[in-house]
Structure 1
Amino acid sequence: MSSAQQSFSAGQTEGQTQIKAENFVESTKESASAAADQAHAAANTAGETAEQHKEEAAGFLQQTGEQVKNMAQGAVESVKHTLGMDKN
């Protein structure tokens, strides 16, 4: 093989290798971007779910507090009635 042919083949191989490397880098960037997008979407979903559960818990606690308050008022009225202190 002549020196010119060897140089041509080496240049051709180098060019092909460079193209493959650039394609690999671009593919890796796209994969990383897609993974970041998925992570961002998952974080948003988790945040929304946490907010929903927080609101549900607040509603439950408020309802429970009302029930306890009503039971306590009923107990006070019962004791007043038993002791003859009610106004009825």
Structure 2
Amino acid sequence: MLNRSLYQINQHTNFYIKMENASYHAGQTKGQALEKGNQLLDKAGNAAQSAKESCQNAGQQAQAKAQGAVDAVKDAVNSNK
């Protein structure tokens, strides 16, 4: 009877240890997933910032070219007067 009780206690103890291990690994996996998600968000933010800066640069270049064309037309009109 004592051996059976000790066996049952041992079985329950092993079960709880396995549950704690599973919980620990689930927490580890969750932490890794959160970290990966944060890394992906950082990369997405960096890509968005880079795209924004590229668009701003392209817009400034287009504006400068348009201003140059306007100035060239003005000079041509003024030189014909």
Structure 2, unpaired ranges of 5+:
none
Output the aligned Cα RMSD: 1.3
Same amino acid, percent of matched pairs: 17
Structure 1, unpaired ranges of 5+:
none
Residue 6 of structure 1: CA displacement? 2.0
How far, CA to CA, are the matches of 2:68 and 2:6 in structure 1?
93
How far, CA to CA, are the matches of 2:64 and 2:6 in structure 1?
87
Instruction: Report the structure, 1 or 2, having the larger helix content.
Output: 2
How far, CA to CA, are the matches of 1:9 and 1:75 in structure 2?
98
Structure 1 runs, 4 residues or longer, greater than 6 Å off: none
Q: Which has the higher contact order (CA 8 A, sep 6+)?
A: 1
Normalized against structure 1, the TM-score is what?
Answer: 0.82
Normalized against structure 2, the TM-score is what?
Answer: 0.88
- What amino acid maps onto 1:70 in structure 2? G
Q: Which has the larger radius of gyration?
A: 1
Which residue of structure 1 lines up, in the alignment, with residue 6 of structure 2? 8
Aligned residues: 81
Residue 79 of structure 1: CA displacement? 3.1
